[in-house]
Amino acid sequence: MSPTERTSIFTVDVEEWFHANYDDVPPGHGLTDDRVEAQTDTLLALLEEAGGATATFFVLGDTARAHPAMVARIAAAGHEVASHNLTHDRIDRMASTSFREQCRASKALLEDQTQREVVGFRAPSWSVGASSTPWFWDELRQAGYRYSSSVFPFGNFLYGDSRAPRLAHRRDGIWEIPPSTAEVAGRRIPFSGGFYLRVCPSWLIGLLASRLVRAGEPVMYYVHPRELDPGQPRIPLSPTNRIIHYTGLRRTRSKLGRILAEAPVQSIAAGQLRYLEAPER
């Protein structure tokens, strides 16, 4: 197996602990507390310990504006900085004109902060889809983005679409690069990020990742800084949402350390260059 075949993609959605889009989050909850820098620095240290691994950091515009020095540290460490939109509102509840303003403003902000071109985008809470936001990809292309990692190809009651393509594909001039799902007995199994990564034991993550690697598919991990923060304040969520949001926080850091020790990782820009050709006009 060549190093290229073994290389996985590591992504981080950089936002605060209160940026969660559950319907029962009180409006404005926690908006003054800052915890994102410490946990982002932990992720930067984990990647550095993994011997020069790179990652894609999808930074929320609101968070970037409040923490410019953190964005500078991410870029200075050689990682890709991409956009997680300007605010953490669901895109499928936004008018296309509002999204147009937000995706352009967040790109300009991050480019100003990093002095590098921003070509990647991830929707907050995987809140886009072919039927709910048919204009999304064309707006990204017109704003100058080249790829999106915004559609979760597995449906649950909060987000995702089990009929969406599992692998990278072109849509309206944009590469859509989904997070990983394994296929077991004809069923899709998410395992590589968020709640799924927190509940799956390390041996299962390793097993499913190796299945994808054998099939020649990239493994894309995704994590939020708050998932390494067991001491974060608790949002008053429903019992189900509380389980989804807070299960396994104490184990995330060591689990990521094992993943990074076993598989070399890189950013989307570094690892998926064929997706970053100039968009078709």
Task: Work out how close the CB of 60 gets to Zn ion at its nearest, in angstroms, rounded to a whole number.
Answer: 7
The smaller minimum CB distance to Zn ion, of residues 137 and 152, is found at: 152
Q: Are 167 and 217 in contact (CB under 8 A)?
A: yes
Contacts of 254 (CB under 8 A, 6+ apart): none
Task: Work out how close the CB of 273 gets to Zn ion at its nearest, in angstroms, rounded to a whole number.
Answer: 25
Task: Work out how close the CB of 133 gets to Zn ion at its nearest, in angstroms, rounded to a whole number.
Answer: 16
- In the chain, what is the straight-line distance between the N-terminal and C-terminal CA atoms, in Å? 37
Q: Which residues pair with 220 in a beta bridge?
A: 9
Q: Which stretch binds Zn ion (CB under 5 A): 119-127, 215-223, 242-250, 253-261?
A: 119-127
What are 196's two structure tokens?
């799924």
Within positions 2 to 31, which residues make up the interface with Zn ion, using CB under 5 A?
13, 15
Contacts of 56 (CB under 8 A, 6+ apart): 9, 10, 11, 12, 79, 80, 82, 120, 149, 267, 268, 269
Q: Which stretch binds Zn ion (CB under 5 A): 61-69, 124-132, 166-174, 252-260?
A: 124-132
Task: Work out how close the CB of 85 gets to Zn ion at its nearest, in angstroms, rounded to a whole number.
Answer: 9
Cα–Cα distance for residue pair 265/261, rounded to 1 Å: 9
The smaller minimum CB distance to Zn ion, of residues 67 and 279, is found at: 67
The smaller minimum CB distance to Zn ion, of residues 15 and 227, is found at: 15
Give the chain's largest Cα–Cα span: 50
Residue type, 263: A
The smaller minimum CB distance to Zn ion, of residues 124 and 178, is found at: 124
Q: Are 68 and 108 in contact (CB under 8 A)?
A: no
Q: Are 124 and 97 in contact (CB under 8 A)?
A: no
Task: Work out how close the CB of 270 gets to Zn ion at its nearest, in angstroms, rounded to a whole number.
Answer: 22
DSSP class of residue 178? P
Task: Work out how close the CB of 260 gets to Zn ion at its nearest, in angstroms, rounded to a whole number.
Answer: 21
Size of the site for Zn ion (CB under 5 A): 3
Task: Work out how close the CB of 88 gets to Zn ion at its nearest, in angstroms, rounded to a whole number.
Answer: 6
Task: Work out how close the CB of 137 gets to Zn ion at its nearest, in angstroms, rounded to a whole number.
Answer: 19
The correct pick among 124, 178, 194, 225 for binding Zn ion (CB under 5 A) is 124
The smaller minimum CB distance to Zn ion, of residues 58 and 137, is found at: 58
The smaller minimum CB distance to Zn ion, of residues 136 and 279, is found at: 136
Residue with tokens 């550095």: 48
The smaller minimum CB distance to Zn ion, of residues 124 and 225, is found at: 124
Identify which of 6, 10, 15, 42 has the alpha carbon closest to the alpha carbon of residue 254.
Answer: 42
The smaller minimum CB distance to Zn ion, of residues 211 and 242, is found at: 242
Within positions 65 to 84, which residues make up the interface with Zn ion, using CB under 5 A?
none
Residue type, 157: F
Cα–Cα distance for residue pair 256/269, rounded to 1 Å: 21
Within positions 193 to 222, which residues make up the interface with Zn ion, using CB under 5 A?
none
Q: Which residues bind Zn ion (CB under 5 A)?
A: 13, 15, 124
